[in-house]
Amino acid sequence: MSLTKNRQQLAGHLAVAGAYVIFGLNLVCCKDIANSALVSPMVLFTLRAAGASALFWLLSLFLPKERVERADYPRIALASFLGLFLTQVSFLMGITQTSAIDAAIMGTLGPIFTMVFAFLFAKEPITGKKAGGVALSFAGILFLIFNSVHSGGAGATTPWGIALLLVNSLSFSLYLALFRPLIAKYSVVTFMKWMFLFSLVLALPLSARGLLETDFGALPAKVGWEIGYLVFFATFVAYFLIPFGQKRIRPTLVSMYSYMQPILATVVSIVLGMDFISWQKVLATALVVGGVLLVNKSRARAS
């Protein structure tokens, strides 16, 4: 039984790690699309919701039919609002008004919020190991950020941009803490097809004008490929992996994988020759990984 549980946890870790690797590259694509000013954040979210919704509903046709209890529809709608609509829209709007370094700093708040919300709503205990692990990874990320060479700085950041990224962290943290039991109740495909459908219904009235005004035929091929990546990988694949992992590991651990994004950005920069390996980067990575391992060893709530 213990071996099976360990395998389930490993599968959960691999799924969430894969999702956040995709999210790390997603940041690059979103920033590039935002800089092009050809597609608004709301239109981009609607495209992602429509594409993922279609893919999940199509996939569900080839799987055993699963009935959703009527009382769960409002809960799934709320999960959709917090975990998809508010999270993604605030992020897509926020990155247009923040520098890369400030966005990275705001992203480090997610695991802290999740740990608090999981304690308040899911009765997940804040143990010494868990608090220490979050603090260790948080220190590692801040150490990496403040020892990285960057341009733009706070001059490219607005208070509204910071507020939007704060909303992004808070909404996704609430989603992770509140809806684990509901996610565990249904298959990933069933849960996500309704999640994205609710988000699409919410987004369409707000983006209808933008969809009509966007000249999709005039979009450069690069932007088109980036949108394709966002729809298929950063939305459909990543949001398949996240609930898969949520079923197997605790909310705080899921959230802590967000610390992979600045690490991944550094690795990509090094591979592309835009950055270099230094002892500071190696130390920061070790601190982040050490923090995740420490949280993983912390005591879970007794079942």
3-state secondary structure 42-90: HHHHHHHHHHHHHHHHHHHCCCCCCCCCHHHHHHHHHHHHHHHHHHHHH
Q: Which two tokens stand for residue 246?
A: 């949520």
Element containing residue 303 per DSSP (H, E) = none
- Angle 97-35-105 from CA coordinates, rounded to 5°: 40
Q: What is the pTM of this model?
A: 0.81
User: Among 195, 209, 186, 272, which Cα is nearest to 239's?
Assistant: 195
Count Cβ atoms within 10 A of the Cβ of residue 266 and give its class: 0-12 exposed, 13-18 middle, 19 or more buried.
buried
> For residue 185, what are its two tokens?
């109740």
Amino acid at 5: K
CA distance 272 to 144: 18
Give the per-residue pLDDT at 273. 62
H or E stretch at 245 = helix 238-246
Q: Which of 176, 146, 131 is nearest to 295 (CA)?
A: 131
pLDDT of residue 195: 97
To the nearest 10 degrees (0 to 180), the angle between helices 188-213 and 41-60 is 140
Alpha-carbon gap, residue 13 to 289, rounded angstroms: 12
Q: Is 259 helix (H, G, I), strand (E, B) or coil?
A: helix
> Rounded to 5 degrees, what angle do the CA atoms 92, 17, 259 make?
60
Q: Which residue has the tokens 């920061």?
A: 284
User: For each of the chain's 303 residues, which pLDDT tens digit applies?
Assistant: 466 778 888 898 899 989 988 887 777 788 778 778 899 999 999 999 999 999 999 999 999 999 999 999 999 999 999 999 999 999 999 888 876 666 666 777 778 888 888 888 878 787 888 888 888 878 877 776 677 544 444 445 678 888 898 899 899 989 988 998 999 899 999 999 999 999 999 999 999 999 999 999 889 999 999 999 999 999 999 999 999 998 888 887 787 787 777 677 667 656 766 556 677 767 877 787 777 777 767 655 433
pLDDT number for residue 241: 94
Buried b (16+ CB within 10 A) or exposed e, 127-154: eeebbebbebbbebbbbbbeebeeeeee
Residue 237 DSSP class: I
C-alpha 82/C-alpha 68 separation (Å) is 20
Tokens of 54: 């279609």
How many angstroms separate the CA atoms of 165 and 97, rounded?
A: 10
Q: Is 34 left (phi over 0), alpha (psi -120 to 50) or beta?
A: alpha
**C-alpha distances in angstroms, 212 versus 33, 209, 215, 216, 260?**
18, 5, 8, 10, 37
